Amino acid sequence: MKTQEQTTIGPSLREEVEERFSHDFSAIPLPLLEKAYPNGELSEHIIYPKGYDFENEDEPLYPMWGYVFEANNQFLSEKLEENVNELAEIGIYLMQVNETRVIVFITGCGYDFYDSHWLPMYRNVFKWVK
């Protein structure tokens, strides 16, 4: 399990990120996808960042938390794919399964995703919040 460096964000910024995230993504229960793609087939749909080192991975790149998040529109889906490497640097990974837009997932759990992942995505990668 990976841990992420956390920064505490103020209430107004957190509210903005929460609102954006709830507008931009829909939660999908991971067991639902695993049922549709049994026997490890879901792993075949991961979009690996450039230079991903399969030989030295401690744990397979796979969602750890019980939910993954589908982009709610094609613009965001394309933006995610364009930034696959930058997103991986902040612990956000992508997959694409049939009949969905890009899905994001996290390989860790037990910490604040907003501070560790969603805020850096909106502020540092997309530059949509300050």
Instruction: Answer for the pair 25, 73: CB distance below 8 angstroms, yes or no.
Output: no
Is 3 part of a structural domain of the chain? no
Is 11 part of a structural domain of the chain? no
Instruction: Answer for the pair 105, 16: CB distance below 8 angstroms, yes or no.
Output: no
Report the number of distinct structural domains present in the chain.
1
- Token pair for residue 68? 């993954």
- For residue 83, the model assigns a pLDDT of 97
Is 6 part of a structural domain of the chain? no
Is 10 part of a structural domain of the chain? no
When mean pLDDT is compared over 62-66, 100-104, 105-109, the highest value belongs to 100-104
Q: pTM score, two decimals?
A: 0.86
Is 118 part of a structural domain of the chain? yes
- For residue 1, the model assigns a pLDDT of 42
**Structural domain containing residue 120:** 17-125
In this predicted structure, the answer to whether residue 38 has a pLDDT above a threshold of 60 is yes
Is 9 part of a structural domain of the chain? no
Is 61 part of a structural domain of the chain? yes
- For residue 72, the model assigns a pLDDT of 97
What is the torsion angle, in degrees rounded to the nearest 10, for the CA atoms of residue 105, residue 41, residue 76 and residue 17?
Answer: -20
- For residue 58, the model assigns a pLDDT of 78
Q: What is the Cα–Cα distance from 119 to 128, expressed in whole angstroms?
A: 10
